[in-house]
């Protein structure tokens, strides 16, 4: 991942592993209660960069054909954290809707990233997610480049065989991507999807976004990208804090474990 002190240097990014090669979070199958909505921040939560700081538009799908990375105007590549596909696929399998809540200052670019990046092993949906954001007016977001990316593709799996992949954007039921307090993002999620705040679990890397807990949302502060283990810790925290069956570790542990996450990017914008 790039650090704030090296924003102009070429970046190297991880890529998400096919969902079929990774275990799903253990809390999804342990018989305990689960949230009715999983909400993820984007920057340093699902992917290891600030889309409005590190990425130089325009962007395009990488030439590898797998769709696991995109390339920006500087020739740098960007993709998801390794566990992203497995986590989103597991949520789909358990019929848990997924939403995005990002306060990036480049919402059009973030949405284009989600259109171009593929999630191997995550079945596609029939329709794209809703969004409270206005239509794109960013000339860097080319409709041609988006249309050229099919809704599904074939990516190599661990045994070398082709595996279905879908656009990342199709994994989300709702997108709330725009600057400002994330309380606004969650009020709009609540209105659009009808899910009670107490049934939402939010993963974010910035401690300041705990403000959403004033609404009744449970937030889990991740250290450096969402992983299977972080999802399990978040679910156990949600169970404990909401009094749901099958509880495990508590929210205070999340605050302690996530302290470094809220501090690690001092000097940068943060999202």
Instruction: Indicate which residues carry an active-site annotation.
Output: 41, 43
DSSP 117-152: -EEET----SSPPEESSPPP--TTS-HHHHHTS-SE
Query: How large is the C-alpha radius of gyration of the chain?
Result: 17
* 202 close to 241: Cβ distance less than 8 angstroms: no
Distance CA 26, CA 125 (A): 24
Strands 37-40 and 200-204: parallel
Report in angstroms the alpha-carbon separations of 136 from 15, 20, 117, 141. Answer: 27, 34, 18, 7
92-123 per-residue burial string, b: 16 or more CB within 10 A, e: under 16: beeebbbbbbbbbebbbbbbbbbbbbbbbbbe
Distance of alpha carbon 72 from alpha carbon 37, whole angstroms: 32
**Rounded CA gap, 57 and 65, in Å?**
20
Q: CA 159 to CA 142: how far, in whole Å?
A: 35
What proportions of the chain, in percent to the nearest 5, are helix, strand and coil?
A: 35, 15, 50
């Amino acid at each position: 991942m790039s650090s704030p002190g090296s924003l102009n240097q070429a970046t190297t990014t991880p890529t998400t592993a096919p969902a079929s090669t990774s275990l799903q979070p253990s809390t999804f199958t342990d018989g305990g209660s689960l949230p009715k909505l999983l909400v993820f921040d984007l920057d340093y939560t699902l992917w290891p960069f600030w889309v409005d700081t590190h990425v130089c538009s325009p962007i395009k799908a990488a030439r590898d054909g797998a769709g696991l990375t995109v390339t920006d105007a500087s020739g740098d590549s960007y993709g998801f954290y390794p566990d992203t596909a497995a986590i989103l696929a597991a949520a789909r399998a358990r019929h848990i809707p997924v939403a995005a809540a990002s306060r990036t200052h480049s919402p059009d670019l973030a949405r284009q990233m989600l259109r171009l990046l593929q999630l191997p092993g995550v079945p596609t949906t029939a329709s794209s997610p809703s969004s409270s954001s206005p239509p794109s007016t960013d000339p860097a977001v080319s409709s041609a480049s988006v249309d050229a990316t099919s809704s599904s593709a074939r990516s190599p799996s661990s045994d070398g065989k082709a595996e279905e992949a879908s656009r990342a954007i199709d994994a989300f039921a709702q997108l709330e991507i725009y600057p400002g307090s994330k309380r606004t993002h969650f009020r709009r999620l609540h209105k659009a999807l009808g899910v009670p705040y107490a049934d939402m679990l939010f993963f974010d890397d910035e401690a300041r976004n705990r403000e959403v807990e004033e609404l009744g949302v449970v937030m889990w502060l991740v250290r450096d990208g969402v992983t299977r283990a972080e999802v399990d810790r978040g679910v156990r925290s949600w169970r404990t804090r909401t009094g749901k069956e099958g509880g495990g570790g508590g929210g205070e542990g999340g605050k302690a474990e996530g302290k470094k996450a809220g501090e690690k990017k001092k000097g940068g914008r943060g999202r």
